[in-house]
Amino acid sequence: MQRRTLLGGLAVSLGGYLAWGEPAWALGGTLPELDQPAPTFALPSLEHRQVNLADYRGQWVVLYFYPKDFTSGCTLEARRFQQDLAQYQERGVQIVGVSADSVDSHAEFCDSEGLKFPLLADTDGAVSRAYGSWLGFISLRHTFIIDPEGVVRARFVKVNPAVHSREVLAKLDELRLG
């Protein structure tokens, strides 16, 4: 059971999953409100192709922000998402990773780890800021579940990379059955 508390009118999570109270604040800023449209974005991916949130309209999206390619926690988190990719695909869910690293860094990271989902280059932090996930020069480890209509349905902060993919799958099942 997650513990939550109100501090100055803001919901603060004492666990990893924020679902209650608006607005919610995390270390990177104000998080998008639940049950509201997700902030739109257009960011370059591999081959420098622009990827828009609207490209995924009609399917569930797991949008995860992470600090840096090739670091231990980020590598573990990406590996876990890749390990569970078939389960996400069976549910019709698209995983999308975002960090401040360059497209070239993402290409090397995807190649070295065998990642089969897009990583987007938010080099100026604009999208990370829109999602309350920016700490000056890196994206923080936050995840958002966005429904097929583009609405934020869940958000995670204080992510444990070793178990996060399983937590997200469980929350997706809860949301889709509810």
User: Which active-site residues does the annotation give?
Assistant: 74
| C-alpha separations of 101 from 66, 69, 75, 81, 142 in Å | 10, 7, 13, 19, 16
User: Which segments within 103-174 are labelled E, that is strand?
Assistant: 119-121, 142-146, 152-156
Reported as type and span, the H/E element at residue 43 is: strand 42-44
Structure tokens at 35: 């049950």
Task: Give the integer Cα–Cα distance in Å for 61 and 26.
Answer: 21
Cα angle 97, 99, 101; round to 5: 125
